[in-house]
Structure 1
Amino acid sequence: MKLAIDAMGGDYAPEKIVQGVELARDKYTDLKFILYGKEEKIKEVLKNGERITIVHTDSVIEMGDEPVRAVRQKKTSSLVLAAQAVKDGKADALFSAGNTGALLAASLFIIGRIKGVDRPGMTTTLPALKGPEDSFTMLDVGANAESKVKNLHQFAVLGNFYSANVMGVTSPRIGLLNNGTEEDKGDPLHKEAYQVLSQDPNLNFIGNVESRELLNGAADVIVTDGFTGNAVLKNTEGTALSMLKLLKETILNAGVQGKLGGLLLKPAFKTVQNKMDYSKHGGAVLLGVKAPVVKAHGSSNEIQVSHALRQLRSMVTTNLTKNLADYFASRPTDEN
């Protein structure tokens, strides 16, 4: 099993990317890695080259580059060559922590979409504090700023498949992110999407879900457009980090008694921190393209990179993409 790695993508590339690759390599003996990037920089931080191949690239797609233009013009960049390797069958899956828009463009233009999928959706897994499962899946979280009813319906189908086949949820509860739970809430897009989702007999659609209920396990799959999903995702992540920071600062500023109390509660705080650690589930999956593609945060450290690579390994091992393509092919054509 070979994974194509954009070694130059991310805020701390190539160091944290290479370190994450080595962690995954040491844990999974069935993995091989092809690292695309500036060879001399990769070798500076690479400790052990076992099952790692370096392919030198002359250019890098930067975070500030315009995505489509960068993919078309920087054909020898680390991201483009990594995507091309997957297209050519030299690698089984693609990983990057770099420019999200460029990864989307490379995945669509080079790897291609699964037949029947109008727009692939960026899918992430977040922790749930209550409910039958300890996490939930949300899409789209950034691939499509604007969506039609047909797209939201397909996101529900994609999310349903991912939740059942990757997360192991039986009959996933599908919720539509909205500004109220009532059937007639939202703009015309969401009102129509509600009707379409409720009429699909293959989906366990439970209705609208408000954003304040997401972490309470209101649904196993949350469907939304990419603009809203990305905003909610960043707000959720930011709130979790801010609350943990606030607790720490409050304890440190509470005097001796506060610090002693904090010391006694340290195991409990650690449990909360682990519960809210969204990175343990891996990166964001681009569902709907012809090969597994995972995007990690630009600020990912080596542990988070290794989690994302573990996630890719699981997707390849379970033939997720082929099974998803077969699943879509078996469904009636969506005319909405």
Structure 2
Amino acid sequence: MRDEFCHFRCVKKEECGLLNTVQNATIPDERLKFCRHCEVEGCMQCVASKPGQESLEKCQQCMPGYSLTREGECEMHGVWVFVLIAAVAGVLLVFAIWWYLCVSSKPSVNEAGVQYGLECRARSRISQAGTSETYALSTNLMTTNVAGPGTMALFRFEFAILVWAITLLAVWMGFVYFVSSDLLILGNRPAESPQILCAAIKWGRQRQMELIWTKVSWMAFAYAFSFAGAICYGVQQTKMFARVSAEEEVMTRYVAILEGLPKMKGSENVEEILKDAVAQACEVEVVGVSVCWDFGEHREEVMHALEDAEEPSEGQGSANTTSR
């Protein structure tokens, strides 16, 4: 019926769409015995074909962007645009293949440069400590420090995501196996006719209420497992960073941050003073010192001074021009 869901009326073939039935369901389906919508692509309004014709329906009015053909079909406007795009893509593909073949067939005129590039690429590869051998593809990047603890943390994160997803899926499949396989088909049962659709909706609603406890239980487990897993994951990552920093050579071993230093003037050679002090106190060779100056109270003065230093005055500009 037109205004009532899951209410039906028996009508004759020529009465499809009439007698308060669905207005645009005007095509009688001989196989399923119901009035259905038009299946002509791009059609806005269609009618049933005459007896003996191959197609069950013909279009009377097409949607915007389509034109009506003599056969009662709807043909899309602008097909030439897609044909043109395909032609241009084909030409570009042929040109790319031709260019590649031309380049690959040319003789090498700078063999030394090629060899130098290959050597640079080989040196940029990550190799095992003390050797020039690269790591095997079977290397466990979660436990082997190949490119620093950050890389190990990345692959540990990916492994944790896989474990989390597989565990939740396994628990859900356990409900499916031990409780009911209907959990896999709720909401996706096919329906060829409105009557079958209504029956599927009624069955699905009833079955959903019967199995609602499985969804609630799974969600509770997912929340608890995710929370506990996140805590364990954070602890393991922290322990890994601490172990790698203590046992292996990492960048933090070559950098020290000094805080709480006394106030010093910019006129003093602060870098050299700190370098000598650290070298004497730690008995190590200091490569360099970078000072972070606290000039918050005089920020505007410092910024103006830097701008004046970067922009030469008019007198300097004229002098440079004269000298040239």
Q: Higher relative contact order at CA 8 Å, sep ≥6: structure 1 or structure 2?
A: 1
TM range (shorter): under 0.3
More strand by share: 1
TM-score by length of 2: 0.18
Which entry has the higher C-alpha Rg, 1 or 2? 2
